[in-house]
Structure 1
């Protein structure tokens, strides 16, 4: 199949080649409507910008880019700090690119201003963007999806095993009616934690129903509101226990049940993921999974350097989490 060219995009869009070039480079000379139309056509015919990676291979910038739509919260603070320290130790600088605009983010990724990049942005960097990264031979480590190839690696937490182990712990405590508060839809950690949870319940013959799932979006307020709306009228059966996709959702869940007149862990056990700082001070202290976040940042840099400096092939590495046992879960009273 013939590879699409910029001329093909221009012909399909009915514009000049220079207009296509300006649109794909997010130039203010092109209107937003025209940009969007050209970008959509380029994606449809699978046009890949002609970037042969010469600048990247020269490795002149001594800079690594971290790409995300957000760096707020406990996870990103630890991650970015560990990445920065490891890069500094190796004589490299760090440039953090935070942008919710998909075009601007992709333009930065393909700019070749970095010797390598670390990506945590499942929503904006989708399959098409990954394809462009691969075809342009940009040395990349992903933290939010399981990928590996000649120039692509990933360093992830073993969220499946953690979800499985945490649910098995609740089962060991005598709980069977266990609900799950989901995080952001289609994110790696949410899907894998949910998969581990469902596997553990299926092993003991529990029929998992649609009512077992809440929407938490990894946010305290979202989880709180969903729990309140579900149980406010008393029409739904209260679960034995709840696995929340992260600690913020677990805390929102506990606050909601307290508002509804239930006690944790006396009436309901609640567990989470991430072991954020407040988890050890919250009442009750939160049983959770602690992931080696700093280790993830260091390994991301180490693997990226192996690909950049030693032409090592990409790898997919999974880091194990650890259950931190605290007060928010207890044995079911029969």
Structure 2
């Protein structure tokens, strides 16, 4: 018992001394505190004691822990001491879990994309099993992440798709368990489908069926998913001795039906020739492309074959049914949820990239071409 009391005294002594040095401006805002090893050597304590002391400073809002950087001072001397405590401590399990995603193209705060709806539905189911409430909100670059966190006291966060890195860094600094879904950040556990493999296999499928001029309909080119899917197409074409022509690289600003429609309309209006096949980076873009092709008096797949991505219900019920890539959104959400619960329980952050499998679903929108 005496040994336990001594250790408690030691970490509080280290905490109090560092706190006073911060308040006395020895460490200014944005300054790095010494490493855990250096602090341990200075105070002659072990690393566990140092970490307990640093966690108290985090709880006070004086410092943030930033992966790959260290412990950074965030308090300014002219500010009064922060009163708001960090909403999460390891073992706390009574707050809701957040599902945070970027706003859609129409600036809507609702979940409008079928893919996000699938993710949310399965994540909500997994959270319910563990006794959590799942709530969603949009989170853009300029939004007040701290205010959102403080008002809800989240136990954990699912960040979805192209969330600004400054919000991811802030969650890491605050010590809130967090998982990134459908994107990749090297300092956070990231769960996404094998985007490269999905479009690589789609292009190989077209090439095997005699297609030699293949185009793409990009989503939002800023997204990791878009970058990886384009890379898959380019690689498959290059291996077959083919190239992706600039005039057949369509879209790049949106994931919506209207973007696919407009992109293909413009291509058909500008070019006398057109590709025999298009790989759309989601099913809504593919549906827009099909409508544009029909409006031009052409047929799918006889004139232009189409492959989508996501295997949404829209693809299953379209005419013709769209050949698409199944990404197993439910598996992504289930994996993300289990990784988040593990992080909540022991706060062990694993900055790994986990890829869920994909598979091509053959339907009616691709035809065989004569070689």
| TM superposition score normalised by structure 2 | 0.72
Equivalenced residue count is 290
**1:283 alignment partner in structure 2:** 319
Match of 2:263 among 223, 226, 231: 226
After superposition, residues 91-240 of structure 1 pair within 5 angstroms as 91-100=131-140, 102-105=142-145, 107-109=147-149, 113-122=153-162, 125-149=163-187, 152-215=188-251, 217-232=254-269, 235-240=271-276
Measured at CA, do residues 60 and 312 of structure 1 come closer, stay the same or move farther in structure 2, by a change above 3 Å? Answer: closer
Question: Is the deviation greater in 154-163 or in 303-312?
Answer: 303-312
Question: 78, 87, 100: which one pairs with 1:67?
Answer: 100
CA distance in 1 between partners of 2:228 and 2:85 (Å): 35
SS at match of 1:273: coil
Cα separation, partners in 2 of 1:230 and 1:148, compared to 1, 3 Å: closer
Give the secondary structure class of the aligned counterpart of 1:214.
strand
Distance verdict in 2 for CA 1:201–1:106, change over 3 Å: farther
Tell me which moved more, 274-283 or 323-332.
274-283
Residue deviations 1:260-283 (CA, integer Å, cap 9, x gap): 111111111110101111212211
Q: CA deviation at 1:103?
A: 2.2
The secondary structure found in structure 1 opposite 2:98 is strand
- Relative to 1, partners in 2 of residues 1:126 and 1:232: Cα closer, same or farther, differing over 3 Å? same
Contact 1:56/1:112, CA 8 A, preserved across alignment: no
Q: CA shift at 1:60, angstroms? A: 4.8
* 3-state DSSP of counterpart to 2:134: strand
1:163/1:197 contact within 8 Å kept: yes
Residue in 1 that maps onto 2:310: 274
| Separation (CA, whole Å) in 2 of partners of 1:179 and 1:196 | 13
2:90 is matched with which residue? 57
Q: Which runs of 5+ in 1 are unaligned?
A: 7-45
Asked if structure 2 preserves the Cα contact closer than 8 Å seen for 1:48 and 1:132, the reply is: no
Q: 1:54 to 1:244 in 2, by over 3 A?
A: closer
Classify 1:110/1:202 alpha carbon distance in 2 versus 1 (closer, same or farther; 3 Å): farther
State the structure with more CA Rg: 2
Please report the RMSD computed on the Cα atoms of aligned residues, expressed in angstroms: 2.5
Query: Which digits, 9 at most, give the CA deviation of each residue in 1:169-195, with x for residues without a partner?
Result: 001111111000000121121111111
Contact 1:52–1:136 (CA under 8 A) maintained in structure 2: no
**Does the aligned pair in 2 maintain the 1:182–1:213 contact within 8 Å?**
yes
Matched, 1:259 2:292: no
Question: Within 1, Cα distance between the matches of 2:212 and 2:181?
Answer: 33
After superposition, where does 1:283-322 map in structure 2 within 5 Å?
Answer: 283-314=319-350, 315-322=352-359
Q: Secondary structure at the match of 1:223?
A: helix
- Take 1:5 and 1:311, find their aligned partners in 2: how far apart are those partners? 25
Report the CA distance shift for 1:169/1:60 in structure 2 as closer, same or farther (over 3 A). Answer: closer
Would you say the 8 A contact 1:183–1:190 is kept in 2? yes
Task: String of CA shifts for 1:90-149, please: whole Å, max 9, x gaps.
Answer: 111212223557323453246671111001151xx3232222222222211001322354
Superposed displacement of residue 220, structure 1: 1.3
Is there any run of 5+ residues in structure 2 with no aligned partner, and where?
Answer: 1-26, 32-71, 76-81, 104-109
Asked whether the 8 Å contact 1:272–1:287 carries over to 2, the reply is yes
Normalising by structure 1, we get a TM-score of 0.79
Tell me by how many angstroms 1:316 deviates: 2.2
CA apart distance, 1:317: 1.0
| Alpha carbons 1:62, 1:91 under 8 Å: kept | no
The 8 Å contact of residues 95 and 153 in structure 2, kept in 1 or not, is answered as: no
